Amino acid sequence: MALDIKICGLKTDAAVAAALAGGASHIGFIFFPKSPRHITPDEAARLRQAASGRARAVAVTVDADDATLDEIVAAMAPDMLQLHGKETPERVAAVKQRYGLPVIKAFAIREAADLAAIEPYRGLADRFLFDAKPPAGSELPGGNGVSFDWRVLAGLDAGCDYMLSGGLNAANVGDALRLADPPAIDISSGVESAPGVKDVALIENFFRAVRVATDDRAA
């Protein structure tokens, strides 16, 4: 099965183009004002055009209310919504019903026991995203460049569809793929030269590293 790759926190045409050229299956746009990757729905609407028919545009929000989601969905017509806050199963169900869009629900993971949190969301979220717990003092629930022990994911059942996220970069993605064998991966700060500043060369380098690792897996 092909590995899905999401490049998240895109803010420029050059970064979107590099993600698409590398073969991203998903591109993520952040709607969280405290994030250095935050953009407006109108900016996302323009940026996502290049991805039409090539990659899924994901709107990433944190405990967003209906009015905020209404504005995002109306402006940029995302292919998926990523809920990266403390959204309850009931909220996930309500969001799915209101917009008729697939939902990625994010969870913060440090140890195997943290995976129990997904149980009430099975059958509701279309895909899970496993990110590291934010470091103390961080105002961001994601995009912190911190990883967790990927080996805890190896125990998940085969039917569990998820993205491995948190602290990935070109140097460690091979280990992540080998240890967890995930169906999908997600990266943000590992392809940045500074917080919120995507670097085309780092994006290219990341895809190169993924190709090397996946070729090794297939061999």
Ligand X SMILES: O=C(O)c1ccccc1NCC(=O)[C@H](O)[C@H](O)COP(=O)(O)O
Among the listed residues 22, 41, 78, 142, the single contact to ligand X using CB under 6 A: 142
182 binds ligand X (CB under 6 A): no
- Beta-bridge partners for 61: 31, 83
168 binds ligand X (CB under 6 A): yes
Query: C-alpha dihedral over 40, 43, 47, 48, to 10 degrees?
Result: 50
Q: Between 103 and 144, whose beta carbon lies closer to ligand X?
A: 144
**DSSP 8-state assignment for residue 167:** S
Among the listed residues 41, 51, 81, 165, the single contact to ligand X using CB under 6 A: 165
**DSSP 8-state assignment for residue 168:** -
83 binds ligand X (CB under 6 A): no
Residue holding tokens 């402006």? 75
131 binds ligand X (CB under 6 A): yes
Query: Side chain identity at 111, as an amino acid letter?
Result: E
Contact present, 50 and 13 (Cβ < 8 Å): yes
Q: Between 196 and 218, whose beta carbon lies closer to ligand X?
A: 196
Going by C-alpha positions, the residue among 10, 43, 14, 42 that lies closest to residue 27 is: 10
**Residues of span 19-58 touching ligand X by CB under 6 A:** 28, 30, 32, 35, 37
Residues forming the site for ligand X (CB under 6 A): 8-9, 28, 30, 32, 35, 37, 60, 62, 84, 131, 140-145, 165-168, 186-190
